[in-house]
């Protein structure tokens, strides 16, 4: 098989599977590992795929500057968010002082918090209502309310948060990159997330598989300073930088 034919076959496989390993490609294409690795290097340099440890992943929409509203996000990756949220809720203990970031995945986490004596702080208006409906001790951060995400943001919100010291914070993210860390498109929301991480003993980011290898406008935390809970991790390079827990859907 000519190199051009192998390249086309590799890209076609990635289009369908989103991720492939070197061993898979050697079997499918009847080529040596060294040949496949050269092919992946070539395609990576051409910007046709993302070469990762042991294989390659498809290139999605890597860079973005905007985000969907809450109603749209609630319809995306529903089962994945439930699985992530359920596991995250199991990490909360009665003596915890917890910050819960606004977002649809963190909202799913609240559904699985039962009979907890922990104290909760949030910048999400809908989150605060859910926590209260469960009879949980709840504080809501004050500040400017952002309509599209229903989150409290801004300088006043950061100032209010500076009174607190959290045992754990659970944050959402729009993008996760090995090079630039956790990102989001809004500078004010990023500032709130940064402050929460700074004031937490443990910072945990809840993110489904669609958030990886994407970059948005503003970085709010480095990978090495957090843990990640996700449903599926195609690029194992993230595990070289921080703790990543994959949960079953």
pLDDT digits (tens, 9 = 90+) for 135-147: 999 999 999 998 8
- Predicted confidence at residue 184, as pLDDT, reads 93
169 and 238 fall within a common domain: yes
Domain membership of residue 214 as a residue range? 70-246
125 and 198 fall within a common domain: yes
Model confidence pLDDT, tens digit, residues 82-139: 999 999 999 999 999 999 999 999 999 999 999 999 999 999 999 999 999 999 999 9
Question: Residue 114: is it exposed, middle or buried by C-beta count within 10 angstroms (0-12/13-18/19+)?
Answer: exposed
50 and 168 fall within a common domain: no
39 and 129 fall within a common domain: no
Residues of the chain with pLDDT > 90, as a percent, come to 68
Structure tokens at 65: 């500057």
- Predicted confidence at residue 69, as pLDDT, reads 59
Between 141 and 54, residue with greater pLDDT: 141
151 and 127 fall within a common domain: yes
Global pTM value: 0.75
Q: How many domains does the chain have?
A: 2
105 and 206 fall within a common domain: yes
- Predicted confidence at residue 78, as pLDDT, reads 85
86 and 33 fall within a common domain: no
Handedness of CA 192, 193, 199, 200 (dihedral sign): positive
25: three-class secondary structure by DSSP: helix
113 and 32 fall within a common domain: no
Question: Residue 193: is it exposed, middle or buried by C-beta count within 10 angstroms (0-12/13-18/19+)?
Answer: buried
Assess if residue 62 is contained within a domain: no
77 and 122 fall within a common domain: yes
42 and 89 fall within a common domain: no
110 and 221 fall within a common domain: yes
- Predicted confidence at residue 76, as pLDDT, reads 67
Alpha-carbon distance of 20 to 114, in angstroms, equals 40
207 and 96 fall within a common domain: yes
Q: Over the chain, what is the mean pLDDT?
A: 90
The domain that contains 198 carries what CATH number? 3.40.50.1360
Model confidence pLDDT, tens digit, residues 10-47: 998 888 787 889 999 999 999 999 999 999 999 988 87
């Amino acid at each position: 098989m000519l190199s051009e034919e192998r390249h086309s076959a590799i890209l076609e496989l990635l289009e369908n599977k989103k991720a492939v390993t070197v061993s898979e490609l050697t079997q499918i294409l009847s080529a040596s590992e060294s040949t496949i690795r050269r092919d992946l290097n070539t395609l990576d340099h051409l910007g046709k795929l993302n070469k990762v440890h042991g294989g390659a992943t498809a290139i999605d929409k890597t860079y973005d500057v905007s985000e969907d509203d809450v109603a749209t996000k609630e319809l995306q990756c529903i089962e994945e968010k439930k699985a992530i949220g359920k596991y995250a809720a199991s990490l909360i203990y009665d003596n915890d002082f917890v910050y819960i970031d606004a977002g649809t995945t963190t909202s799913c986490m609240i559904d699985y918090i039962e009979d907890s004596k922990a104290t909760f702080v949030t910048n999400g208006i809908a989150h605060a209502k859910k926590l209260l409906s469960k009879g949980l001790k709840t504080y809501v951060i004050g500040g400017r309310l952002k309509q599209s995400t229903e989150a409290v943001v801004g300088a006043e919100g950061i100032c209010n948060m500076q009174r607190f010291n959290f045992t754990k914070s659970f944050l959402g993210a729009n993008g996760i990159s090995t090079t630039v860390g956790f990102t989001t498109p809004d500078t004010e929301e990023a500032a709130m997330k940064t402050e929460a991480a700074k004031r937490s003993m443990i910072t945990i980011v809840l993110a489904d598989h669609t958030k990886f290898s994407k970059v948005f406008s503003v970085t709010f935390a480095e990978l090495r300073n957090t843990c990640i809970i996700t449903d599926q991790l195609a690029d194992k390079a993230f595990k070289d930088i921080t703790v990543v827990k994959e949960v079953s859907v």
